[in-house]
Amino acid sequence: MSPIRVAVSDGVAILTLDRPRHRNAFNGEMGRRLGELYRRFDEDDDVRVLVLTGTPPAFCAGADLTPGPDTFASPTDADFTASPVHPPAFDLRKPVIAAVNGHAIGIGLTLAMQADIRIVAADAKYAIPQVRRGVVPDAMSHWTVPRAAGSAAAADILLTGRTFDGAEAVRLGIASRSLPADEVLPAAVTTARDIAVHTSPMSVALSKRLLWDTLRHGFTPGQVAEYETVLHHRVMGTADSAEGVRAFVERREPRWTAHVGRDWKELPWE
């Protein structure tokens, strides 16, 4: 059985980590499958938004510790990587919402940190405890956590490995909202469907890529102004730029015609 369940409806793909007997603990097969799904839906113009969640009561309890003391034995695979999901969520052109509906520990939380938006369960436990296991935080968390929370909060999270709840996750800046566990996925799907209906697919894809690449490459304000101008030239005068205004004036849902998979062009800074 696949470690990830997939459901697609109304432009939203819900990817559910599904190893409930192991509290959705992460293993190599889960990482490979998640990467495959990310690539597939990034090219699928019928899918506008991805929601990543877990089979209750956990989101992801971290690495599968079934091997015991050998869990973090020296890797024998020459292709070993500490970032086992490729591509990461932030490299997709579609928004990714992490509906963290239960405990997210270790790589469970570091994978969620690669999403664009995180909604967390208020009473669940969160930690990146790798330093307490004799290893190092993974999944590019030394970049994603300070990006979201700032360097001081990142040091608190990564260097102590301590556990905190959903309310503190919001205060630290690593989550947008903290809700009762059973409200997390519905809230994420509501947000996803709002994006799928009311936002231009191309506009969102371009904005997401510029947002993350500005952080990745350290673009200056002048560079950002230049690239925003280039992207405006790309979308202004298109059918969707007219449709967005027309739908707003007519108080109806827009009918977008651009397709990211079909119409994507190389970006000026690539």
Mean pLDDT computed over 87-102: 98
104 is written with which tokens?
């997210």
Q: pTM for this structure?
A: 0.95
The CA-based angle 119-45-85, given to 5 degrees, is 50
Q: What is the pLDDT of residues 57-70, one digit of tens each?
A: 999 999 887 777 76
How far apart (Å, rounded) are the C-alpha atoms in residues 196 and 57?
28
pLDDT tops 70 at residue 235: yes
Indicate the fold that domain 4-195 takes in CATH: 2-enoyl-CoA Hydratase; Chain A, domain 1 (3.90.226)
Q: What is the pLDDT of residues 136-162, one digit of tens each?
A: 999 999 999 999 999 999 999 999 999
In Å, what is the CA distance from 26 to each residue of 80, 84, 187, 211?
Answer: 15, 10, 24, 28
Q: 1.10.1030.10, 1.10.12.10, 3.30.420.10, 3.40.50.800: which CATH number matches 200-263?
A: 1.10.12.10
How far apart (Å, rounded) are the C-alpha atoms in residues 172 and 159?
15
Mean pLDDT computed over 16-30: 96
pLDDT tops 90 at residue 78: no
**Ranges of CATH 1.10.12.10 domains, the chain:** 200-263
